[in-house]
Structure 1
Amino acid sequence: MAVAGELFYRNGIGSVGVDRIIEDAGVAKATLYKNFRSKDNLIHAYLNEKHDVTVVALTAIAASGQSAGEKIDGIFCYLEQLTQDQKFRGCAFVLAMAESPLPESPAYQWAHRHKAHVRGILSDILAKSVKRGQLDTVVEKMMILYDGALISSALQDSPAPIQFALEMAHHVLRQHAPRQRSLTE
């Protein structure tokens, strides 16, 4: 699975055939098909693994006893750590969906499932930190910053877009923060 995942991420899921995976992994075709049955099942396993790694990291950040702003810092710090890998190409789910835009494809389904999960984590983090009725708007803005930071960092081969996105995320938090009542009100 590790070889297939590396090949899918580096070369794209559409560019990597089962024969290439078998050759690079040094396994028999029968073994691969016994474990995965099809390339779609391999794609599913690859994206499931990517999803689990990300969700574990983001859930740990969300569970920390910090403020919403500090948790957002933690999320963007995690994204910045991803960009430090010399093989970083961007979000595996965005890359996979770009290659397989049909709703019935495993890549499309995983991309939507994964992004919905990330949205849920952000929603939990931000629920008590934004004005009433604005949570969905703020979460959507954060998702745009999250995805845009990953894409821009890959395109520029630089972590700088992550920092710019973090600055904008804090601006969004300030813009949508509940109004503080003064002691005289």
Structure 2
Amino acid sequence: MTLGEPETRPSEARLRLLTTATRIFYAEGIHSVGVDRLIAEAKVTRATFYRHFPGKEDLVLTYLREVHQMERAAVETAIADNPSAVDALLAIAGSIAHSIQSPGFRGCAFLNAAAEYPATDQPVHQEIIAHRQWFLDTLTMMMARVHDPTAHAAARHFVMLRDGAMAAGCLFDPALVSETFLRGIEGLLRINAERQSTESGR
């Protein structure tokens, strides 16, 4: 690439740094991992690190945005593949249950990061809130197609069930936690679908 020519693909060094950070941050936490270790494991120079990320916080923000994009893609696929709102929500729940049972599961990356960045004025904390607001808004939109009057409450209920399952999946049998979570979502959807059916029949 000549001087002044725009980059058409991400730098390999940047990808290595992000891949390394994603793996270690999720497995071990964020504050416990220093820049020196990230540089060593990604096999880049210190100058390369700071060329791509002015500071560690910039890398943390990029890590969370990458996780957000992965989770968003899974949700959008579930919605696109399932014209029925109930089926789409069940598919979203199924994707969450699958992640709980995946090797190396360590809970929700955003809840984990929130525990390390509790101050509401921190950019990392604000990134976490933005992700969670997107998820809640998406669920509310889908729940409105099941039963509009209870959409907000049902979406919050879904999020709470999800958060509980993500925490419990690190402590108890992941298969049992996933099954319990799915039954809870099925019950939530059944109740709201029955409400819609009853009201439509009046």
TM-score normalized with structure 2 length: 0.84
2:174 aligned residue (144, 153, 158): 158
Query: Aligned ranges for residues 2-13 of structure 1 at < 5 Å?
Result: 2-13=19-30
Write the deviation string for residues 107-144 of structure 1: whole angstroms up to 9, x where unpaired: 311211111111122122211211x4211111110111
For residues 165 and 32 of structure 1, the distance between their equivalents in structure 2, rounded to whole angstroms, comes to 40
For residues 59 and 120 of structure 1, the distance between their equivalents in structure 2, rounded to whole angstroms, comes to 13
For residues 170 and 139 of structure 1, the distance between their equivalents in structure 2, rounded to whole angstroms, comes to 13
| RMSD value, Cα | 1.6
2:96 aligned partner: 79
For residues 128 and 158 of structure 1, the distance between their equivalents in structure 2, rounded to whole angstroms, comes to 30
TM-score normalized with structure 1 length: 0.91
1:45 aligned partner: 62
Unaligned runs of 5+ in 2: 1-17
Which is worse superposed, 29-38 or 141-150? Answer: 141-150
> Paired residues, what number?
182
SS of the residue corresponding to residue 128 of structure 1 reads helix
Which is worse superposed, 153-162 or 136-145? Answer: 153-162
Unaligned runs of 5+ in 1: none
1:62 aligned partner: 79
Q: Quick check: 1:84–1:159 contact (8 Å CA) kept in 2?
A: yes
Which is worse superposed, 49-58 or 169-178? Answer: 169-178
Amino acid at match of 1:134: T
For residues 22 and 62 of structure 1, the distance between their equivalents in structure 2, rounded to whole angstroms, comes to 39
2:7 aligned partner: none
Write the deviation string for residues 27-79 of structure 1: whole angstroms up to 9, x where unpaired: 10010011000010000010000000000110111223332221122112111
Aligned-pair distance for 1:145?
1.0
Higher-RCO chain (CA-CA 8 Å, sequence separation at least 6): 1
Aligned-pair distance for 1:167?
1.1
2:134 aligned partner: 117
Query: Aligned ranges for residues 97-112 of structure 1 at < 5 Å?
Result: 97-112=114-129
Percent identity, aligned pairs only, is 30
For residues 136 and 186 of structure 2, the distance between their equivalents in structure 1, rounded to whole angstroms, comes to 17
User: Quick one: structure 1 residues 2 and 93, their matched pair in 2 at CA, closer, same or farther if it must change by over 3 Å?
Assistant: same
Aligned-pair distance for 1:157?
4.8
